[in-house]
């Protein structure tokens, strides 16, 4: 059996609402190319908090901004990347509002012959980049989602709604499909950002306009995304401020952002995000600027709101203590890559990647002695596709091959359930030599080697 992960069998078999696959976001500056996010894959499910943790510069915010489509020139999401919004209600609504941008995959399936396309190099990626062992296994949905359907003439550039079960002509009765976020533009994009996926930033002032009252800003969001106006919107704005724990909400709705404390401002921003009634909430270090007591209150608030609304949440932080408190699953990022993923208990009890081990040792109170350990050195800026382990120069466990072989994400041991690490020391049940051989085998396929 191969150790290859197969992340997407088919959208129908998962209950995740967001599926990030092989996301690559690069900035093409005059000086250099920064591969800020370099082949990242993970899922977010409703009611689940996915933590993203890593030191400064590891690519956490760029991952979030890619999902929100907030990457501007000179940055770009590269071909081969896919971010699926796998939410049936949205697919039905989009198929009915944007029939011209909706594709029924069955109707083009006859023209799709993956083996030939991969063999001819028409698709300039390997089956491994899609998470499959052989070309024949790669589904049409994955190929069009990742942007290869355009050159093949299978879909148009602005097609972004893909129906996998049911008829695009009968949106009410669609039973499966997805909206491909990397292909969105115009109105469908506007409805997605803010409407279906909302984001809370570190500094609440980036989201609040100083010249309007807090209430008016929430009402504007309500008008845009829920069509509420007048007295109804005023009532709803006050009730949202109450929901996020702002005392005396009915009076404070008429105040300006500068009349709010830092913690209250962040609560107001969360209320604004909720005004759009999103399915997914992305939080990028929402509590970093706040003092510890307020931070704990905001984390509690987010946890409560998530449960009430069954939100899928992605939570970015560089603080392992915050991760322990809020996350269900954790992705550890380093230099643009996810180097380890596991549920939160497993990650803390049994971290496999030396980088994760280092991050855990730098939590105050977790190590013996009173000197806080930190990992020496800084995160490198990834300029080239990785051909070695980007953590090796700082890794206490590095050996010769770490400088020569790029570690693939593999299960940490034989019966690891959803626990993977990108480290040549894994899978742990293999000898180091066998583990290295497995990583090499995967890389040769990734580089267009054998297709098996
Ligand atoms: N607009 C840009 N132009 C060029 N490089 C950029 C741009 N935005 C981000 N980067 C680079 O992308 C990399 C990842 O940045 P990112 O902001 O995602 O890090 P982060 O993990 O969120 O760090 P922090 O904890 O400091 O917020 C960094 O090397 C950064 O310099
Ligand atoms: Ni950041």
Q: What is the pLDDT of residues 285-321, one digit of tens each?
A: 999 888 889 999 999 999 999 999 999 999 999 999 9
Confidence of residue 134 (pLDDT cuts 50, 70, 90): confident
| Residues 411-414: contacts with CB under 8 Å, at least 24 apart | 411/3, 411/5, 412/342, 412/350, 412/352
The pLDDT of residue 368 is above 60:
no
Say how many Å lie between the CA of residue 264 and the centre of ligand 1.
28
Say how many Å lie between the CA of residue 130 and the centre of ligand 2.
27
Q: What is the pLDDT of residues 15-51, one digit of tens each?
A: 899 999 999 999 999 999 999 999 999 999 999 999 9
Atom of ligand 1 nearest to the CA of 59: 18
Q: What is the pLDDT of residues 55-103, one digit of tens each?
A: 999 999 999 999 999 999 999 999 999 999 999 999 999 999 999 999 9
Closest by CA position to 164, among listed 84, 46, 250, 81: 84
Closest by CA position to 335, among listed 380, 376, 374: 380
Q: What is the ipTM of this complex?
A: 0.99
From atom 31 of ligand 1, which residue's Cα is the shortest distance away?
57
Ligand 2 is an ion; residues with CB less than 5 A from it: 60-61
Residues framing ligand 1 (Cβ under 6 A): 27, 29, 34, 36, 54, 56-62, 75, 318, 381
pTM above 0.80, yes or no: yes
From atom 25 of ligand 1, which residue's Cα is the shortest distance away?
56
The pLDDT of residue 1 is above 50:
no
């Amino acid at each position: 059996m191969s150790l290859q992960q197969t992340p997407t069998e088919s959208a129908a078999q998962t209950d995740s609402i967001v599926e990030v696959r092989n996301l690559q976001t690069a900035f093409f500056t005059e000086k250099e190319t920064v591969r800020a996010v370099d082949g990242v894959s993970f899922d977010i499910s409703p009611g689940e908090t996915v933590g993203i943790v890593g030191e400064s510069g590891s690519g956490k915010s760029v991952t979030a901004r890619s999902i929100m489509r907030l990457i501007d020139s000179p940055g770009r999401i590269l071909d081969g990347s896919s971010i699926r919004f796998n939410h049936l209600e949205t697919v039905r609504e989009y198929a009915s509002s944007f029939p011209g941008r909706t594709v029924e995959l069955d109707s083009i399936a006859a023209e799709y012959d993956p083996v030939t396309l991969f063999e001819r190099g028409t698709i300039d990626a390997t089956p491994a980049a899609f998470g499959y062992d052989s070309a024949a296994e790669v589904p049409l949905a994955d190929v069009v989602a990742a942007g290869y359907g355009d050159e093949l003439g299978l879909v148009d550039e602005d097609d972004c709604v893909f129906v996998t079960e049911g008829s695009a002509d009968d949106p009410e009765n669609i039973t499966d499909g997805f909206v491909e976020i990397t292909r969105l533009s115009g109105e469908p994009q506007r409805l997605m950002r803010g409407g279906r996926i909302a984001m809370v930033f570190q500094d609440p002032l980036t989201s609040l306009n100083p010249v309007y009252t807090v209430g008016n800003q929430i009402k504007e969001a309500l008008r845009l995304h829920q069509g509420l106006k007048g007295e109804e919107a005023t009532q709803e704005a006050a009730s949202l401020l109450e929901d996020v724990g702002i005392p005396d909400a009915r009076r404070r709705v008429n105040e300006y952002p500068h009349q709010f404390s830092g913690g209250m401002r962040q609560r107001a921003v969360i209320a604004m995000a909720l005004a759009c009634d999103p399915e997914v909430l992305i939080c990028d270090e929402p509590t970093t600027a706040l003092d510890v007591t307020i931070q704990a209150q905001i984390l509690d608030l987010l946890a409560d709101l998530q449960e009430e609304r069954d939100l899928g949440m992605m939570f970015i932080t560089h603080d392992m203590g915050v991760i322990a408190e809020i996350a269900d699953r954790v992705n550890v990022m380093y230099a643009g890559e996810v180097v380890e993923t596991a549920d939160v208990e497993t990650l803390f009890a049994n971290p496999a990647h030396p980088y994760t081990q280092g991050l855990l040792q730098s939590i105050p109170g977790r190590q013996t002695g009173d000197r806080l350990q930190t990992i020496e050195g800084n995160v490198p800026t990834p300029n080239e596709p990785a051909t070695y382990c980007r953590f090796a120069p700082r890794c206490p466990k590095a050996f010769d091959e770490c400088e020569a072989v790029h570690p693939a994400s593999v299960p940490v041991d034989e019966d690891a359930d959803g626990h993977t690490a990108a480290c040549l020391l894994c899978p742990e049940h293999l000898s180091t030599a066998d583990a290295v051989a497995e990583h090499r085998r995967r890389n040769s396929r990734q580089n267009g080697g054998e297709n098996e």
